[in-house]
Structure 1
Amino acid sequence: MVDLLAIFAIFISGIVLTSLTPHFQSPDEFNHIKRAYLLTQGEILLNQIGPSGTGGDIDTGLLAYMNAYEVLPFRPNNKVTKNLVETAEVERWKRDKAFSSLPNTAAYMPFQYIPIAIGLKISEILDLNIRNSIYVGRIFNLFTAILILIFAAAIRPLPLAVYGILFLPMSLFQFGSANIDPISFSLSALIPILFIKYFDEKNKLENRQAILLTILILVFCSSRYNFLPILLINILLNFKKRNAVGLYLSIGSLLLITFWIYISLEKNTGITLRGIPTNEVVKYYITHPLNLLSVLSESFTNINVLKGYGRSFIGTLGWLDSPLPDYAYYLLSSLLLFLIVLSLHINEYRKKYPFFWLIVGIFCSLILLPIILLFVYNNHPTNFVDSLQGRYLIPISIFLFCLICSRRINAARKIMSLIILLLLLMMSIKITVSNELTRYYISGKIEMPSLIKGAI
């Protein structure tokens, strides 16, 4: 019952934020929508190169709708106005196309864009306007993420600390947007649960189990390349279990992702406009390993840098242009910390066969994350990885807490945990909705009536 209520709360919060958040206000949501649209047109590996990078031919009605909302990102004083909504709402699918770049999403494999693409395609067939089509894409994406969470909770109740992370403003905001984060968040809860269940030393690993787990890992890693160590561990565990189907499928998945990354680099897909190709940045750090260590050290030890990661983990909404009030970071991080401490129960899975390897894998994923961002997205040269956003750490945290936290705690700890979780949810919703209203709808300027002006 707790799981159903918690997941229902995420679903309702996602629906509310889907309606409340203007379109394209999640980081790179413009390009995520373009990527999903191109998938509806059968374009899987993007191979068109324009002046601004890799992209594809996008419906001009969609591009015109996007253009109307480009006035909002990075401009906190700009609000949603009646004129903006009326101007954008008339845009429909025109079936005429124009090239548009999307370099920072082109490097991803398309699996996690399928729900958004289905929503867009159905909307296009029904001839909905662009505005409603985006809403349908968002809802399909949210619904898919919710189904994955329900599947995970049906296998094993999720630790309350995991729900604590999913209740944070950053998580709820992403659940209400059209991007790949909602499905990534949900898969990061499901995959460790399946590992623990399927790789129990006492049970034989069946082919259908090996196939399901490997496909889920492939989908997960296809847009979260720092989790490739988890795929390597799947290969190792299938080998130890002597499951040939899982072993060959895992190796095939690794080769497929490796091939995709190679092709992406060769075609310059996924390269941001920083003026230096990724290949050259990689070569630089290979030949200057001490510089790489210095950048990583600064990224993990500088207090101000870590503070920035922490704030964006709790929630720096919009295009990182809508921070929460200062008190919110202290309050929500304190509640989450208490919840984690109360949920810790390492002994439950410590003796399980894959536990050690999964902990190693998640540690390697954490180390790989800033390295990949440094190679692909970060400015060069740099002193630290400023492209690392706190939300990138959410899947890592969920994966980890599924392993070291549990619901099998004594009654007193469970009651305290539920109270804290409920308080965290209520405060998170209040803070997030208030932030959204202030950022996008409430102007700081009040135009006084002329009579009052004259009296003054």
Structure 2
Amino acid sequence: MSPFQSADELNHYLRVGQIAHGQFMGHRVGETESGGDVERSFLDIYRPFHRLMTKYDEKVHREDIITAGLVNNNGIYQFQSFPNTAIYSPLLYAPSAIAVFLTTKLEVKPLYVFYSARVATAIVSALISFFGLLLARKGRYYLFVILMLPMVLSLYSAVNQDAMVIALSAFGIGLISFLTGDEGKSPSKKLPAVSAALILVAMARPPYLLLTAAVLSLVKNKSIRFIACAAVMALTAIASIIWVIYLKKSVWIPFFVPGMHVSIGEQISFIVHNPLQFIKVILNTIIHQGNIYLHQGIGDIGWLDTPMPDWYFCLTLYMAVIAAVADIFSGTTPSYRNKIESIGIPLAVCASVVLTFLAILTTQYLNYTPVGADEVIGVQGRYMIPLAIFLAVAVPHVSIPNRVRDVVGATIPLALFAWAIVTASVLSWTIIDRYYLETASRPPDFHIHIAASSDFASVPRKVGGHIDNVTVQDNHIAITGWALRSGSGNSELVLVTRYQLQDLEARKMSRIDVVNVLKDQKLQWSGFHVTGTIAPEEGNLTADDFCLVSKDPEYGDTLVDGSGAACRGDMASPR
């Protein structure tokens, strides 16, 4: 993966630099900034790669690597604001922070300091995941599929906290699975390790606290009392609550974007007074964005702008189902002590996963969504990966003849191995194609339907999106920007002008920057690049001679902000 091309990797790396410098906690400055002191070279090596983000036509060149490689440590530290990562525990960044500290002391070039942080994250996350798989007594095949997803592999190879969260989730579930059948001496002594893993996971995102219900499955072990499981859950809750209180007092700042009214207090009031409307918000979000979360969780890598092929998503879903079914018929863990436990505990674990998902949506609705909005914005598919991991402990066990079990045990590992080879190959090619080949293939459905019109009276008054650049040269026009487009096949762009245009074409562009600001996943492919030719007899067209209208079933008809003065009139404020 090209440097800094994982979601928010720069801000994660700044947080690592702050920790390596000895500032373990982020701190708030005023009401709008939160972060810490970081050496200036951390930003200097980022600049050559900034242009790649969300721009499918931009590639990594040899000069970019050389420019970043020439940057030296200057020993100048300055405050940088990175509020979205300043809130994360320093323990989750420990491997990369230690690597940065050591390589900086050895006066390694900053670019290679960055690579050392990536390598440290990859090695430690992979090792923790390996031991989780090794310990697991149930759900092992399913757990392997989750840990081999392209999104997981790309996170392991980048600087972020998600890699450690996923690895610790796998280790915690593996250890819980192991302890359910460990009738050896004092299995309760291993519970602190379970508690430590769960605490770190819950500190990453408070909704994960609900996943601690997975420890209830330990009551299968006659040597572990229910009170011990409850103590683990209570300790995790106390640690998480203390952490959230500290963040609220010293680090966290309210989310603010001009034009978006976000208020936790007002949003809570809206939910309390409109509970049925809030239920509708959750349902709308699941219906309209559930498929997006699934695709992102499996393999929309980079800045969520580099998807795996469609056929690979289908193959992986089939493989996950096959692996889960194989786990059901190949489990070796002991039975629960009674029917109430055998039914109630797996249901409790599944319920905790569902509640965690709803808690994530609710948290994002409170913190990042405009008051009273119809859908939750700001949720990303990778947030759901720990939830999928915790489902492994709820896999039931069905007794089957030994001969059938032997067949399952012989064929499933081979199928998983073949799928893993396919995954590694497709992921490698996708990365090479996206970042390094000048003739890279386009994302699916890359073209946008576009039409021309001279009816200025039909231009809508509602404004949304933005025209970033207009170029007119030798009768050729090029327009880039973004519009309020959900990517639906029924959406289109209309170029309104009195001039006759020929060869109009519009291409999709990924705009993860728009997604990050507006916290709306449906706008991931809202960017556009419009090209056309002006008839020679028409004269010279200028930026004031046209307007661009977006027609979308989700957002309605909107005039793209930045259109010519002749089109704007007295318009509404842009979104």
> Which protein is bigger by CA-based radius of gyration?
2
What's the TM-score, normalizing by structure 1? 0.82
Deviates most, 218-227 or 157-166: 157-166
Q: 2:438 maps to which residue?
A: 443
Aligned length: 421
**1:179-328 pair list within 5 angstroms:** 179-198=160-179, 208-231=189-212, 240-243=225-228, 251-267=234-250, 269=252, 271-274=254-257, 276-300=262-286, 302=287, 304-328=288-312
Deviates most, 378-387 or 223-232: 378-387
Call closer, same or farther: CA 1:296–1:52 in 2, change over 3 Å.
same
Higher helix share: 1
Q: Does 1:340 align with 2:340?
A: no
Supply the distance in 1 between the matched residues of 2:33 and 2:118 (Cα, whole angstroms). 26
Q: Does 1:118 align with 2:98?
A: yes
Call closer, same or farther: CA 1:444–1:107 in 2, change over 3 Å.
same
**1:329-408 pair list within 5 angstroms:** 329-345=313-329, 351=336, 355=346, 357-378=348-369, 380-404=371-395
Deviation at 1:347, TM superposition (A): 7.3
Deviates most, 361-370 or 26-35: 361-370
Q: 1:79 maps to which residue?
A: 59
Q: 1:26 maps to which residue?
A: 6
Call closer, same or farther: CA 1:53–1:290 in 2, change over 3 Å.
farther
Q: 2:425 maps to which residue?
A: 430
Deviation at 1:370, TM superposition (A): 1.7
Deviates most, 423-432 or 263-272: 263-272
Q: Gaps (5+ residues) in structure 1?
A: 1-20, 446-456
Deviation at 1:181, TM superposition (A): 2.2
Supply the distance in 2 between the matched residues of 1:32 and 1:395 (Cα, whole angstroms). 19
Identify the match of residue 153 of structure 1 among 133, 138, 150: 133
3-state SS, counterpart of residue 160 of structure 1: helix
- Tell whether the 8 Å contact from 2:15 to 2:86 is kept in structure 1 after alignment: yes
Deviation at 1:397, TM superposition (A): 1.1
Supply the distance in 1 between the matched residues of 2:23 and 2:396 (Cα, whole angstroms). 41
Q: Does 1:414 align with 2:438?
A: no
Supply the distance in 2 between the matched residues of 1:138 and 1:53 (Cα, whole angstroms). 26
Supply the distance in 2 between the matched residues of 1:50 and 1:36 (Cα, whole angstroms). 22
Deviations 1:107-156 (A, max 9, x none): 22222111111111111111111111111111111111122123223433
Supply the distance in 2 between the matched residues of 1:326 and 1:250 (Cα, whole angstroms). 40
Supply the distance in 2 between the matched residues of 1:233 and 1:429 (Cα, whole angstroms). 31
Identify the match of residue 169 of structure 1 among 128, 146, 150: 150
Deviation at 1:62, TM superposition (A): 0.8
Identify the match of residue 19 of structure 2 among 39, 47, 52: 39
Supply the distance in 2 between the matched residues of 1:234 and 1:106 (Cα, whole angstroms). 30
Deviates most, 179-188 or 336-345: 336-345
- Tell whether the 8 Å contact from 1:235 to 1:251 is kept in structure 2 after alignment: no
Higher strand share: 2
Supply the distance in 2 between the matched residues of 1:277 and 1:67 (Cα, whole angstroms). 34
Q: Gaps (5+ residues) in structure 2?
A: 441-575
Deviation at 1:26, TM superposition (A): 0.9
Letter in 1 for 2:305: D
Letter in 2 for 1:23: P
Deviations 1:398-429 (A, max 9, x none): 22124317899712223332232123212211
3-state SS, counterpart of residue 70 of structure 1: helix
Call closer, same or farther: CA 1:250–1:344 in 2, change over 3 Å.
closer
Letter in 2 for 1:311: H
Call closer, same or farther: CA 1:207–1:416 in 2, change over 3 Å.
closer
Supply the distance in 2 between the matched residues of 1:342 and 1:174 (Cα, whole angstroms). 27
- Tell whether the 8 Å contact from 2:18 to 2:37 is kept in structure 1 after alignment: yes
3-state SS, counterpart of residue 322 of structure 2: helix
Supply the distance in 2 between the matched residues of 1:233 and 1:425 (Cα, whole angstroms). 28
**1:70-149 pair list within 5 angstroms:** 70-149=50-129
- Tell whether the 8 Å contact from 2:126 to 2:156 is kept in structure 1 after alignment: no
3-state SS, counterpart of residue 71 of structure 1: helix
CA RMSD in angstroms comes to: 3.2
Deviates most, 57-66 or 192-201: 192-201
- Tell whether the 8 Å contact from 1:24 to 1:30 is kept in structure 2 after alignment: yes
Letter in 2 for 1:254: A
Letter in 2 for 1:332: T
Deviates most, 275-284 or 125-134: 275-284
Supply the distance in 1 between the matched residues of 2:372 and 2:56 (Cα, whole angstroms). 29
Supply the distance in 2 between the matched residues of 1:134 and 1:166 (Cα, whole angstroms). 24
- State percent identity of aligned pairs: 20
Q: 1:48 maps to which residue?
A: 28
Q: 2:494 maps to which residue?
A: none
Supply the distance in 1 between the matched residues of 2:290 and 2:226 (Cα, whole angstroms). 40
Supply the distance in 1 between the matched residues of 2:24 and 2:267 (Cα, whole angstroms). 26
